[in-house]
Each structure stands twice: as C-alpha cells, then as structure tokens.
Amino acid sequence: MKLLLAGTLFYCLAFILKPTCAGAMEIAQVEALYRMENLLGVKLAVDKAVQPSTDVDKTAATIARMAAEVWSLAGDTPGDMEKLAALRRYLYESGPWNDERPFQYDQEDPLGEKPENRVLERYLTTRRGNCITMPILFLAIGQRLGLRMALAEAPLHVFLKYTDQSGKAWNIETTSGGGFTRDVWYREKLPMSDEAVANGVYLRPLSDEEGISLVASFLIEDRLLQDDFEGAIAISDVLLRHYPNFAYGWVKRGSAYAGLLRREVAGKYVRVEDIPPDLRSKADHWYRENKAAFSRAEALGWLPQ
C-alpha cells in the first residue's frame, strides 16, 4: 500500500479521536472563529493558540494606529487608488511613518516554514514577512480604509484580490511591493492545473468563511508539528466543513492520517501479522481516510509540489 504524505504550505475524524481536544484550542473555539467580526481577529486568535505569548490587544492596537497613519498619508477625501498608493508607500517605502524600516519579504523563510514567522506580531516587530503575514497585514489595514479585499490562493502562496469602485478585480502581490499582478504571472511562476483553476481552488477571491479556514489551517500545521495527529484531524474536520473545496486542507487531513499510521503502526510492527486485530482494523480505517483525503485534493486539481 502506498502511504500518502504532504509537506508544509504559500497550505477527518477517526473513531479513536478525542473530539473536544485540538491542542491549544477546543473544537468549540475553532468553530467560534467563524463567528468573529473580521479576519484580523481570527488571525490573532489563531496566533494566540499557537504562540501563547502573543499580545492580541497590543497587536490589534498597533494595526489600528497604522491604518490611521495611512489615512493621513492618503490626504483629504482620498479615493481607492490614493488609499492603495498610501498603503503601499507606508509599508514598503522608507520614511518617518515606518521609522525608515520598511516591511520586506523574508528571503530566508519566504514560505513561512518556521512557525514563529507566521505570527503577525513577529512580522510587525521584524518587518520581515512571508506570503501569509504580508497579505493579512495589508488586508487588515486596507479593510480599515474601506477597500474591498479578500484573500486568494495559488500553490503554496497567498495573495490578495482587490475589487475597485467599478467592480473590476485586481491581484495585489504583497510580497513584491503591493503591486498589481496578472493571473498569468501566477500560472507561470506557480504552475497549477487548469482543473484547479476551473474548480476555484486558485486565483479567485475567497469568501469570508473560506478565508477563515485558510487562516486557521495554521492550527493544523501546528498540531502536525507536535505529532498530535488526532488534533489535526479534528481541526481539519471543522475547516473542511466550512470550506469543502480547500485542497490544502484535504492534503493536511491526509497527512494527519499518514502520521497516525506511522506513529501507531509503522513505528511499532515489522510484519502485518504482528499487528493486533483491533489495531489492524483502525489502521485500515486510517489508510482509507488517508487515501480518500488525497483523492479529494487531486479531484479538485491539486498537484504535489
């Protein structure tokens, strides 16, 4: 049998599971994320669960102050384009507004593979971000300015979709100065299947509910790093219920079941006949769920990266 695994992202409920335990967050708390007022609140709650030292109130206040300063840069009665220009300048150009320390793409960890680099509070401190923290900060400030923005996905990457006052949608690439980028650029740089694009896996604005699932996938990754595969499965069950076409979520669900098989079976038994009958039954279930999760991702057009 082939065991399916996946790596880290910018990306399920066994019958032995403890359904109320999902690491630092109870399942009820994960569900509560979908009732929060904005994506910034969701991100800060997720960061707090992964890194308890996160100062949620201080981070939220800092971003509110930043938004007010961008308003000042934009001038009197600015239009959307003036607001965007001011936001780009504030974040990415050196000036007194950012103490001559502009926000930059972290070339040493561009995908945010180190968990600490995915925490928004750390991005505000280091001014070095990735394709998770950079679009979320840009969106959080932009929404306070009244700009219509949403998260969007490409393979192992997150960017923004901005809708202007005429209703036209634009891609904003926050890892490259917040400039406009065409869909074809993403397709060339981050190869994706036509099927994935047609199914809306990539290159479209996510709904609020889908955006929450994307942000909360950090919780799954954290549980996988802790070898808490049961917790990862429980969280993914919630996220996928709210975002059924979340290919990355299906991949992580499959990886969690693979982790269970590796921990409970592959690491303990050399021969199949040595596996106790009750555990063998569970292992068969985990294998089926592992295979089903990756099959669902592939049906959506996901390709291994």
Over residues 294-302, mean pLDDT: 98
pLDDT value for 19: 36
Q: DSSP of 99-124, one letter per residue? A: TT---EE-TTSTT--SGGGG-HHHHH
Q: Domain segments of the chain: what residues? A: 27-299
| Cβ-based burial of 10 (10 A; exposed 0-12, middle 13-18, buried ≥19) | buried
Helix ranges, 164-243 (H): 183-189, 194-198, 208-225, 229-242
User: Is it the case that residue 6 has pLDDT exceeding 50?
Assistant: no
pLDDT value for 9: 33
Q: Are 184 and 198 in contact (CB under 8 A)?
A: no
Question: pLDDT band at residue 2, thresholds of 50, 70 and 90?
Answer: very low
Q: Which residue has the higher pLDDT, 174 or 1?
A: 174
Over residues 194-212, mean pLDDT: 98
pLDDT value for 24: 57
Number of H helices, E strands in the chain: 12, 6
Q: What tokens does 269 get? A: 């038994």
Question: pLDDT band at residue 179, thresholds of 50, 70 and 90?
Answer: very high
Least confident of 108-117, 241-250, 268-277, 295-304: 268-277
What letter does residue 180 receive in the DSSP assignment?
A: E
Question: pLDDT band at residue 151, thresholds of 50, 70 and 90?
Answer: very high
User: Is it the case that residue 288 has pLDDT exceeding 90?
Assistant: yes
User: Is it the case that residue 18 has pLDDT exceeding 50?
Assistant: no
End-to-end CA distance of the chain: give it in Å, rounded. Answer: 22
The dihedral over CA atoms of 178, 213, 62, 10, expressed in degrees to the nearest 10, equals -40
User: Is it the case that residue 111 has pLDDT exceeding 90?
Assistant: no
Query: 């949608």: which residue's tokens?
Result: 169
Q: DSSP of 130-156, one letter per residue? A: -TTHHHHHHHHHHHHTT-EEEEEEETT
Question: pLDDT band at residue 267, thresholds of 50, 70 and 90?
Answer: confident
Question: pLDDT band at residue 226, thresholds of 50, 70 and 90?
Answer: very high
Nearest-angstrom CA–CA distance, 6 and 218: 15
pLDDT value for 269: 87
Query: What is the share, in percent, of the chain residues with pLDDT greater than 70?
Result: 92
Over residues 270-289, mean pLDDT: 92
What letter does residue 13 receive in the DSSP assignment?
A: -
pLDDT value for 13: 25
Nearest-angstrom CA–CA distance, 117 and 133: 8
User: Among residues 234, 236, 214, 77, which one has the least CA distance to residue 159?
Assistant: 214
pLDDT 10s digits, 75-100: 999 999 999 999 999 999 999 999 99
Question: pLDDT band at residue 271, thresholds of 50, 70 and 90?
Answer: confident
Question: How many CB atoms sit inside 10 A of residue 260's CB?
Answer: 26
Query: What is the share, in percent, of the chain residues with pLDDT greater than 90?
Result: 87
